[in-house]
Amino acid sequence: MRRIAILFVVLTLAACAATTAVPTPSPAPAATAAPTTASPIAAPAVAAIAPTSAPAATPRPTAAPEPAPTTEATAPSTASGPSAASTFAFSYPIGIPGRPLGDGFFIRHGFATENTWYNPGYWHTGEDWYAQAGDTAGARVYAVAAGQVIYAGANYPGRVVIVRHAGDLYSMYGHLDPRLDVKAGQQVARGDLIGTVLRRGDKTPNHLHFEMRTFMTAGAVNGARPRYPFRCSVNCPPGPGYWPIDAPDLPGALGWRNPTHAINRRMLAPGSAGAIVVATRPVSASITLWSAPPGEGAPQALGELKLRPGQRYPLLDVRAGPEQTRTTSALSYQLWYRIQTTDGASGWVQAAVPSAFETGGDGRPSSVEFNFYPDREAS
């Protein structure tokens, strides 16, 4: 077998261990599509940036990690009435108690990006969430939506939990401490505690690997006849976590979804309301307020909005990119919020920003940082 088969074994995630799972149908993977190359979206232009307040750097491994044993516009307004946040159906998977879910973290390697120091030559099939400061180990991990835990086990390294949501959508939480707060068969609500991030024993920095996808097992990925010999492949629910760049299809064609897009597209039910909060460490000190998001008419700049950490804004509308992203790198991330100001005016602001904190082999950004988070506190 060619050398790449050996690289699959060395560089991919650790093998699955025996576990308890709730039987579930295994949808066939979606029809494949030819990979496409991402290009910056239309005006207002979204360019990759270097973090203005860089997340704390962590040492990069020099060799393939080995698995560890499991063990200013107008001033912002404040939303009135009952907390609109309670209407959110989806939210981010990690948080700090007392702060909006996601606040204090960033996506170091996004969906369909390349991690050149861990697994060069492969697309990432999820999002790696890291703390902006300090160690991510011990961070609390939460269910992104209501559902049933159908899998809890594996040596990823660390435990893996998979939750099945309505509409055959699954969320997967990897690299968890063995002391889980849920078990297979349990029903969970959005925001329920699942566990905490594992303190690893290998060379890889501690983080949460998070996926959203349309399968628990899929034939070509991690079912009966996987196409590639990843160690977590044959009937292995966690799955490989990566997909070859030279494969004829992108991760989205196999059933993986862009998690940030999926969460935000499903966050608000029709007719419901919500609010967003400025990040504790926003990407920049101010942001442009636009008349429309990219791709809708000819957006006009309405003014500059100063970003005051913790400031709350009523959320009027959301525009997120497709769940089945057909482009690659962090440039494919598109997340815009329409907010309301104190004088009753409204405008669009960019919530997720591509970052060159990490880049792929072609120089395009792999990281994503946030200016705003949905107003739903971690518990």
Any idea which of 61-75, 146-160, 267-281 has the lowest mean pLDDT? 61-75
Task: Identify which has the larger pLDDT, 60 or 153.
Answer: 153
| Burial group, residue 202, by CB count within 10 angstroms (0-12, 13-18, 19+) | middle
Q: In the block, which residue shows the tokens 């295994």?
A: 26
Q: What is the DSSP letter of 197?
A: B
pLDDT digits (tens, 9 = 90+) for 156-210: 899 999 999 998 999 999 999 999 999 999 999 999 999 999 999 898 999 999 9
Report whether 334 contacts 111 (CB < 8 A).
Answer: no
Give the residue from 297, 243, 311, 315 showing the smallest Cα distance to 88. 315
Banded pLDDT at 36 (limits 50, 70, 90)? very low
Q: Which residues contact 319 (CB under 8 A, 6 or more apart)?
A: 293, 296, 334, 335, 336, 337, 338, 348
Query: Which H, E and C letters describe 20-41, residue by residue?
Result: EECCCCCCCCCCCCCCCCCCCC
Tokens, residue 241: 């976590």
193 with 140: CB under 8 angstroms?
yes
Task: Compute the average pLDDT of residues 214-232.
Answer: 96
Q: How far is CA 253 from CA 28, 243, 258, 325, in A?
A: 11, 11, 11, 9
DSSP lists the bridge partners of residue 169 as 165
Q: Are 371 and 282 in contact (CB under 8 A)?
A: yes
Q: Does pLDDT of 223 surpass 60?
A: yes
pLDDT at site 375: 95
Phi, psi at residue 181, to the nearest 5°?
A: -100, 5
CA distance 37 to 35: 7
Share of the chain above pLDDT 90, in %: 72
pLDDT interval class at 17 (50, 70, 90): very low
Distance CA 136, CA 280 (A): 17
CA torsion 120-126-63-358 (nearest 10°) is: 70
Question: For the residues 333-348, what does the mean pLDDT come to?
Answer: 91
pTM: 0.82
- The CA–CA distances, whole Å, from 353 to 108, 199, 343 equal 12, 28, 27
Q: Name the DSSP letter for residue 255.
A: T
Tally of CB atoms within 10 A around 37: 10
Count the Cβ atoms, other than its own, within 10 Å of residue 153: 22
How does pLDDT run across 104-139, given as a tens digit for each residue?
Answer: 999 999 999 999 999 999 999 999 999 999 999 999
C-alpha closest to that of 286 among 373, 349, 356, 368: 349
C-alpha distances out from residue 12 to 105, 154, 294, 365, 369, Å: 24, 14, 36, 22, 26
- Percentage of residues of the chain with pLDDT beyond 70: 77
Domains detected in the chain: 9-22+72-374 (2.70.70.10)
Q: Which helix H or strand E contains 291, and what residues bound it?
A: none
pLDDT of 15 > 60? The answer is: no
* φ and ψ of 348, to 5 deg: -105, 135
Is the pLDDT reported for residue 323 higher than 90? yes
Using alpha carbons, select from 375, 201, 356 the residue that is nearest to residue 272: 375
